[in-house]
Amino acid sequence: MPELPEMENYRRLLSQSILNVPITNVVVNREKSLNVTVEDFTSVLKGSKVIFVERRGKHLIFHLHNGGRLLLHLMLGGILYLGHRDEERPSRSTQVEITFGDQVLYFIGLRLGYLHFLTARETENALKELGPELLDRRMTKARFVELIGKRRGALKTTLVNQQVVAGIGNCYADEIAFDAQIHPLSKIQDLSEQSLEQLYESTVKVMHEATDGGGYMEMPFQEGDTLTGAYNDECKVYDREGEPCVRCATPIVKAEHTSRKVFFCPNCQHEV
């Protein structure tokens, strides 16, 4: 599932490509991906422009010039692709296609995800349960330590809880715990303040590196895109079961906790 780095990478790329370009055509192949009828969705989008693309956690918000919003959550398996009409059409089936000038933004894999047309207030209401942004300048070390330190339960479960902090999922929770040299199943209430401060440093480091590295999504965003997905090769533990730890060469272990896969080094990540 795309996490903060993947969605921030998409936001940056979209902001370079579609802003203020009139929408000339809309194709909906799966009405269940929408929250309104195809007719209403198409009529409100045709002729409008996206003036700003915002990210909130794992969501993208397309701000339209008429005041409306498109709220996107890719969920499991969702990806975006921008191509020049039919000559760069992706081979996979699409659920929604929006044409911006001579380019088409393809929404792929929206079987669980969605693209909803909302008012500004409806968008705010839809996202009101999300926790604070990790990379916001207001997320200081002191605030992070206070926020995480008052929780109880496993570290990984806490990090992926979108009501605690927004944007971290399975992959980066494991990568952050590895960087901090903390076992992902350690209990939050047992971590020292020093460990929590290190967790903050690792969170900021991993999120910035993963975002600047294009995230781990393997499909390019558009023709010639070599950035998107490049961070997949930089992951230290996620999906690396059996491979040697980059710190100590001990084989990476995969476990399961609350139906989630957990990857870690059993030697240099000690459970508190």
Query: With the C-alpha atoms ordered 182, 188, 193, 198, is the resulting torsion angle positive or negative?
Result: positive
* Amino acid in position 132: P
Examine the residue annotation and report whether 150 is marked as an active-site residue of this protein.
no
Residue 268: its pLDDT value, please? 94
Residue 247: its pLDDT value, please? 96
Residue 231: its pLDDT value, please? 96
Coil, strand, or helix at residue 193?
helix
Examine the residue annotation and report whether 247 is marked as an active-site residue of this protein.
no
Residues 153-175 have a mean pLDDT of 96
Examine the residue annotation and report whether 58 is marked as an active-site residue of this protein.
yes
Residue 66: its pLDDT value, please? 93
Q: Is 239 left (phi over 0), alpha (psi -120 to 50) or beta?
A: left
The one catalytic residue among 3, 6, 8, 97: 3
The model's pTM: 0.94
Query: What percent of the chain lies above the pLDDT cut of 90?
Result: 91
Residue 119: its pLDDT value, please? 97
| Predicted confidence (pLDDT) at residue 217 exceeds the cutoff of 80 | yes
> What is the C-alpha separation between 21 and 103, in angstroms, rounded?
10
Residues 151-172 have a mean pLDDT of 96
- State pLDDT tens for residues 67-107: 999 999 999 889 999 998 767 788 889 999 999 999 999 99
- State pLDDT tens for residues 6-48: 999 999 999 999 999 999 999 999 999 999 999 999 999 999 9
Residue 46: its pLDDT value, please? 96
Residues 244-250 have a mean pLDDT of 97
The one catalytic residue among 56, 58, 236, 240: 58
Residues 135-153 have a mean pLDDT of 94
Residue 138's closest CA among 130, 129, 147, 151?
A: 147
Residue 88: its pLDDT value, please? 79
- State pLDDT tens for residues 165-210: 999 999 999 999 999 999 999 999 999 999 999 999 999 999 999 9
Examine the residue annotation and report whether 3 is marked as an active-site residue of this protein.
yes
The one catalytic residue among 2, 5, 184, 236: 2
